[in-house]
Amino acid sequence: MFSFPVKLLVLTTAVLSSFGTALEAASTFSENFDSTSITSNLTAQAGWAFGSNSTITGTAQNSSGTRTYVTTTATDYNTVDFTAQVKVHLNGGSGNGTGFVGFGSGTPAGTYGEPGNSLYLRLGPSDFGPFVDANIQPSGVNATLADPSLGNGTYLVQMQKIGDSITLGVEQNYSSGAFVATPGMTYTASLSSDLSFLNSTNSTLFFGSQVGNTTFDDFSVTVAAVPEPSKALLAALGCGFALLRRRRTMRA
């Protein structure tokens, strides 16, 4: 049998170990794309230009003619609660000008290069649709969120994960200020039932397009806070002493 000090040490180690795991989880950051290069928080697939190299200075732009995506370098956003936002500028380009924002692998898949193993929004420009819809691949789920009155312009897209739920929302004609979803333009999915294909190796946050008519800027991610080590340690010690006291009382 373990003595109490050893039990307490085991319990404390377990708590601190779980905290250490949290430290390895995806992190908070922001990127305004003012520079011609991006920070290590993001990874760009082929064809992307940033800052003064993009047609709209200070944005992210893909002019390759092939659907590719900018993803977070961290792949474990399924393990934390977060709020992420990015501005999407639609300026035409027919079907090739469709903008994508989502959660998952962010890897081109299928005939049209849309994101595989992902939950994502598609925002269609005025000369294609226009539309905003939510999709899940590979299940094939598709839900229309907006009528054809939408189209070219600036949108703020927000992705928010709380527990098992992740909600994607869109604010139309965005200019500044806090995010306020346009009525009817939100979609919520369950990680456990709708997105069971996601794990800590393919859960990125991403955006993308096919042509330079669609650009992105001001991408930000805020991860919910985790307990400080000192608080976790105190909690473990308190639990251990409570167990010891209970054990002694039962023996008396």
Domain boundaries, the chain: 25-246
Token pair recorded at residue 205:
């946050």
CA distance 174 to 157: 10
Residue 120 has pLDDT above 80, yes or no: yes
More confident residue, 117 or 111: 117
Q: Provide the strand spans (E) within the chain.
A: 29-31, 42-44, 48-51, 59-62, 68-72, 82-90, 99-109, 114-124, 131-137, 141-146, 153-162, 165-171, 186-190, 204-209, 215-223
Using the 8-state DSSP alphabet, how is residue 76 labeled? B
Residue 186 has pLDDT above 90, yes or no: yes
Confirm if 137 and 189 have CB atoms less than 8 A apart. Answer: no
CB hemisphere CA count around 123 (13 angstroms)? 34
Residue 35 has pLDDT above 90, yes or no: yes
Fold of 25-246: Jelly Rolls (2.60.120)
CA distance 37 to 30: 14
What are the b/e assignments for 146-168, b being 16+ CB within 10 Å? beeebbbbbbbbbbbbeeeebeb
Average pLDDT over residues 143-151: 83
Q: Which of 10-14, 22-26, 31-35 has the weakest average pLDDT?
A: 10-14
Query: Which residue shows structure tokens 């779980």?
Result: 18
Residue 165 has pLDDT above 90, yes or no: yes
Distance of CA 115 to the CA centre of its chain: 14
CA distance 119 to 191: 10
Cα–Cα nearest to 105, from 241, 31, 233, 199: 199
Token pair recorded at residue 175:
């200019």
Query: Tell me, what's the pLDDT at 21?
Result: 39
Token pair recorded at residue 76:
């474990």
Confidence of residue 17 (pLDDT cuts 50, 70, 90): very low
Average pLDDT over residues 201-225: 97
Query: Which residue shows structure tokens 């990015």?
Result: 86
> Which pTM value belongs to this model?
0.82
Query: Tell me, what's the pLDDT at 94?
Result: 95
Confirm if 47 and 68 have CB atoms less than 8 A apart. Answer: yes
Cβ partners under 8 Å of residue 234, min gap 6: none
The phi and psi torsions of 226 (rounded to 5 degrees) equal -115, 160
Using the 8-state DSSP alphabet, how is residue 77 labeled? G
CA distance 184 to 116: 25
> Could you report the per-residue pLDDT of 194-207, keeping only the tens digit for each?
999 999 999 999 99
